[in-house]
């Protein structure tokens, strides 16, 4: 019964979305106020119905109602509660329902918190948002109905894929979707602005918190995914340039560009058409990611619902959404009033350069992801694109971008003083060069790129600190004065400092781990030892252990450093009972300079096990960097100018609140 209520609620949400897509839009065009005002209750109601639908599905998973097809295929009564719940989105249909629910959630947020938006802009934005909803609800209902039943109901389910039974992965999809889907708000705002033919500082200020929220969430989601791959797959790697990973990385890159260009619109009223285009393309990348992952158009290690029929549907959504928005762009964007002028050396120019670099990087990733498909469609030979491609394209293009990230914030608006900025960065420069020299000395000649990566990472870290120190006049004036400045510095400034510092830390970690990882694979008997990275691993024993729904072989390693006891590691090799698919649980112990990483493989049946031990230099820095970036996002979101509300469109007509 509850399932039918959920199904029905989904249909009702569709009806409300239809009303929300048409009436406020027409109302805004014709100036009918009551129609425009319909957007708010419709958006909230649509979200409420979708929430009911989603919770009905969660309920089916929690109570193990195997008469529902996807519960039968993805759950088992012996699974822990957390994985029963996360099983809801551990499959195509359920995750799609989560997708639309989050979409409607964002619409409802705009409806509730957008009180200070001009009514026309708000009505149009919510209408566009509803159009996206309609497309995805239809997609859910017609090709991927999560509420489908089977009769007679099986007694037991087939269990969630064991690889997905993991706390990190339970939260990875929701965070990722908040990121993906959140960009729809920027898209809707952009389309609404194109219909109005007007973009100004106020528009940028409304768009920015939504973009920030999405970006922050996407950063966290990608990091969680990478972390999951790192410890669960047992390959000791965290990023494989797999199409599905790229699918989440492209919106992140474009979202990063959008965050930066929106600043220029907000502060200087320039780059308007470009920012609109970015807002459209960022969500376009989200849609593209959805398409790549769910259509089966590209083979990937973890593409999950390979069904060309669904692919056609998503492709149609992608074509209509992007084609429509870009047609509107081609028609309306040229009439936008050009904004403020700026010199070739200025904060604006630096941000523009940042955008050029980031869009180029996105294009490089897009090309790497699609080349195999393009070759195949054109009937040329099959090719595969791997890490070397990215090493020689992505990395060299991103190096100058990182260099720029330290300089840009030190340049003034309109006209900047490049030599002055560089002078203030002398310390960062020395540190960067020292980093390159030391890195090259540690590992002479073999990895030029690694030395450069460490160098620019240190440069950005130090440069970011310098910029902050400049702002608070640290050591240049009395400390009480610096302290006062520290407290009064806008949160947005701290957000940038944290995000840039986090990026720098992550870059150093990624570079070191990519370049200097070491690996030993060997057959090992209890009592034998392996030496790697200055540590000695002794296999004490391998024993059988039991979990709630799996049995496992657990190895017991004693790790020694310089002959002294350091730690113990317990990697496992699990065999889940329902899906007899072995999964590895790596044992990881972090210290400041890296991770100890041990994996136990198969037994040879004669008392020896395949054992893999990795020395993972600076990997914890990657996760630390990601956390600092996410923190920066939240700090920036809490900036006063978003809390006191957006400025009026006619600042003269109203007294400033601040």
Q: Which stretch binds other proteins (CB under 8 A): 219-227, 318-326, 469-477, 480-488?
A: 318-326
* Contact predicate 101/58, CB 8 Å: no
Nearest-angstrom CA–CA distance, 43 and 213: 19
Q: Which stretch binds other proteins (CB under 8 A): 128-136, 174-182, 235-243, 577-585?
A: 577-585
CB of 640 to other proteins, least distance (A): 35
Q: Note whether 396 binds other proteins by CB under 8 A.
A: no
| Window 374-393: residues binding other proteins (CB under 8 A) | 374, 376-377, 382, 384
Among 223, 370, 454, 504, binds other proteins (CB under 8 A): 370
Among 291, 494, 516, 566, binds other proteins (CB under 8 A): 291
Phi and psi for 449 in degrees, rounded to 5?
A: -60, -35
| Window 144-173: residues binding other proteins (CB under 8 A) | 158
Alpha-helical runs (H) found in 303-410: 308-332, 347-377, 387-407
Question: Which of these, 144, 156, 154, lies nearest to 57 by C-alpha position?
Answer: 144
Query: Closest CB to other proteins among 106 and 550?
Result: 550
* Nearest-10 crossing angle of helices 272-295, 201-232: 30
Q: Which stretch binds other proteins (CB under 8 A): 102-110, 324-332, 543-551, 585-593?
A: 324-332
| Window 589-608: residues binding other proteins (CB under 8 A) | 602
CB-hemisphere CA count at 13 Å for 305? Answer: 19
Alpha-helical runs (H) found in 78-200: 81-86, 92-113, 119-143, 167-196
Among 13, 333, 425, 559, binds other proteins (CB under 8 A): 333
Tokens of 155: 């007694």
Query: Closest CB to other proteins among 292 and 629?
Result: 292
Nearest-angstrom CA–CA distance, 204 and 216: 18
Q: Note whether 318 binds other proteins by CB under 8 A.
A: yes
β-bridge partners, 538: 529, 558
Q: Note whether 323 binds other proteins by CB under 8 A.
A: yes
| Window 607-646: residues binding other proteins (CB under 8 A) | none
Among 273, 345, 401, 442, binds other proteins (CB under 8 A): 273
The helix, strand and coil proportions of the chain, stated in percent and rounded to the nearest 5, come to 65, 10, 25
CB of 160 to other proteins, least distance (A): 15
CB of 249 to other proteins, least distance (A): 17
Q: Note whether 312 binds other proteins by CB under 8 A.
A: yes
Nearest-angstrom CA–CA distance, 388 and 84: 39
Among 29, 67, 145, 306, binds other proteins (CB under 8 A): 306
Q: Note whether 130 binds other proteins by CB under 8 A.
A: no
Handedness of CA 215, 218, 224, 228 (dihedral sign): negative
Nearest-angstrom CA–CA distance, 2 and 53: 9
CB of 243 to other proteins, least distance (A): 11
Q: Note whether 135 binds other proteins by CB under 8 A.
A: no
Q: Note whether 373 binds other proteins by CB under 8 A.
A: yes
Number of H helices, E strands in the chain: 21, 10
| Window 168-207: residues binding other proteins (CB under 8 A) | none
* Contact predicate 399/459, CB 8 Å: no
The bridge status of strand 550-561 relative to strand 518-524 is: unpaired
Among 45, 255, 289, 311, binds other proteins (CB under 8 A): 311
Q: Note whether 299 binds other proteins by CB under 8 A.
A: yes
* Contact predicate 475/469, CB 8 Å: yes
**Binding residues with other proteins: total (CB under 8 A):** 40
Among 277, 507, 588, 626, binds other proteins (CB under 8 A): 277
Residues in contact with 367: Cβ distance below 8 Å, sequence separation at least 6, in sequence order: none
Question: Which of these, 652, 640, 658, lies nearest to 205 by C-alpha position?
Answer: 640
Q: Note whether 580 binds other proteins by CB under 8 A.
A: yes
Query: Closest CB to other proteins among 82 and 301?
Result: 301
Token look-up 């009769």 returns 151
CB of 260 to other proteins, least distance (A): 19
Q: Note whether 327 binds other proteins by CB under 8 A.
A: yes
Among 229, 247, 298, 598, binds other proteins (CB under 8 A): 298
Nearest-angstrom CA–CA distance, 407 and 464: 9
Question: Which of these, 625, 626, 619, 492, lies nearest to 218 by C-alpha position?
Answer: 626
Question: Which of these, 464, 459, 350, lies nearest to 412 by C-alpha position?
Answer: 350
Q: Which stretch binds other proteins (CB under 8 A): 12-20, 183-191, 257-265, 279-287?
A: 279-287
Among 55, 315, 489, 631, binds other proteins (CB under 8 A): 315
Q: Note whether 544 binds other proteins by CB under 8 A.
A: no
Task: Give the max Cα distance, the chain.
Answer: 85
Query: Closest CB to other proteins among 114 and 243?
Result: 243
Bond from prior residue into 100 cis (ω within 30 degrees of 0): no
Binding site for other proteins (CB under 8 A): 158, 273, 277, 280-281, 284, 291, 295-299, 306, 308, 311-312, 315, 318-319, 322-323, 326-327, 329-330, 333-334, 370, 372-374, 376-377, 382, 384, 579-582, 602
């Amino acid at each position: 019964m509850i399932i039918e209520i959920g199904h029905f609620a989904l249909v009702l949400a569709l009806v409300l979305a239809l009303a929300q897509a048409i009436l406020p839009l027409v109302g805004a065009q014709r100036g009918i106020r009551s129609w425009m005002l319909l957007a708010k209750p419709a958006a909230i109601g649509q979200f409420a119905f979708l929430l009911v639908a989603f919770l009905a599905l969660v309920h089916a998973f929690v109570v193990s109602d195997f008469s529902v097809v996807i519960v039968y295929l993805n759950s088992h009564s012996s699974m822990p509660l957390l994985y029963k719940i996360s099983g809801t989105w551990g499959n195509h249909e359920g995750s799609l329902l989560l997708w639309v629910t989050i979409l409607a959630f964002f619409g409802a947020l705009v409806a509730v918190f957008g009180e200070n938006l001009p009514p026309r802009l708000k009505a149009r934005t919510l209408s566009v948002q509803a159009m996206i909803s309609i497309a995805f609800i239809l997609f859910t209902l017609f090709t991927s109905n999560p509420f489908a039943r089977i009769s007679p109901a099986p007694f037991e389910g087939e269990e969630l894929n064991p690889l997905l039974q993991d706390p990190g992965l339970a939260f990875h999809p929701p965070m990722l979707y908040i990121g993906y889907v959140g960009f729809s708000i920027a898209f809707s705002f952009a389309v609404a602005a194109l219909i109005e033919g007007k973009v100004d500082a106020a528009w940028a200020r409304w768009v920015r918190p939504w973009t920030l929220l999405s970006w922050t969430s996407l950063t966290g989601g990608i990091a969680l995914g990478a972390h999951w791959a790192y410890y669960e797959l047992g390959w000791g790697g965290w990023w494989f340039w797999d199409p599905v990973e790229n699918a989440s990385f492209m919106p992140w890159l474009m979202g990063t560009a959008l965050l930066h260009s929106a600043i220029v619109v907000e502060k200087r009223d320039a780059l308007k058409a470009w920012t609109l285009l970015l807002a459209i393309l960022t969500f376009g990348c989200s849609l593209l990611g959805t398409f790549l992952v769910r259509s089966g158009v590209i083979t990937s290690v973890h593409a999950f619902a390979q069904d060309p029929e669904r692919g056609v549907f998503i492709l149609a959504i992608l074509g209509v959404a992007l084609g429509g928005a870009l047609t509107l762009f081609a028609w309306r964007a040229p009439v936008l009033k050009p904004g403020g002028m700026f010199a070739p050396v200025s904060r604006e120019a630096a941000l523009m350069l940042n955008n050029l670099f980031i869009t180029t990087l996105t294009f490089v990733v897009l090309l790497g992801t699609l080349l195999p498909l393009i070759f195949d469609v054109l009937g040329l030979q099959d090719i595969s694109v791997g890490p070397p491609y990215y090493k020689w394209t992505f990395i060299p293009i991103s190096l100058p971008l990182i260099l720029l990230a330290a300089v840009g914030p030190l340049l003034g608006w309109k006209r900047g003083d490049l030599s002055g900025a560089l002078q203030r960065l002398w310390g960062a420069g020395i540190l960067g060069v020292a980093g390159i020299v030391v890195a090259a000395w540690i590992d002479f000649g073999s990895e030029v790129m690694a030395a450069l990566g460490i160098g620019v990472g240190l440069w950005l870290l130090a440069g970011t600190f310098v910029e902050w120190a400049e702002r608070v006049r640290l050591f240049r004036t009395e400390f009480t004065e610096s302290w006062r400045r520290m407290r009064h510095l806008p949160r947005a400034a701290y957000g940038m400092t944290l995000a840039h510092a986090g990026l720098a830390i992550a870059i150093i970690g990624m570079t070191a781990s990519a370049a200097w990882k070491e690996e030993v694979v060997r057959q090992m008997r209890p009592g034998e030892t392996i030496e790697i990275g200055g540590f000695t691993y002794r296999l004490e024993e391998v024993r059988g252990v039991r979990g709630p729904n799996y049995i496992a072989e657990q190895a017991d390693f004693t790790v020694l450093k310089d002959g002294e006891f350091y730690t113990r590691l317990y990697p496992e090799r699990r065999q889940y009972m329902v899906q007899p698919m072995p999964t590895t649980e790596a044992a990881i112990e972090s210290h400041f300079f890296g991770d100890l990483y041990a994996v136990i493989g198969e037994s040879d049946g004669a008392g020896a096990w395949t054992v893999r031990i990795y020395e993972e230099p600076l990997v914890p820095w990657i996760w630390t960097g990601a956390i600092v970036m996410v923190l920066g996002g939240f700090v920036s979101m809490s900036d006063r100018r978003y809390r006191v509300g957006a400025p009026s469109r006619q600042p003269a007509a109203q007294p400033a609140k601040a």
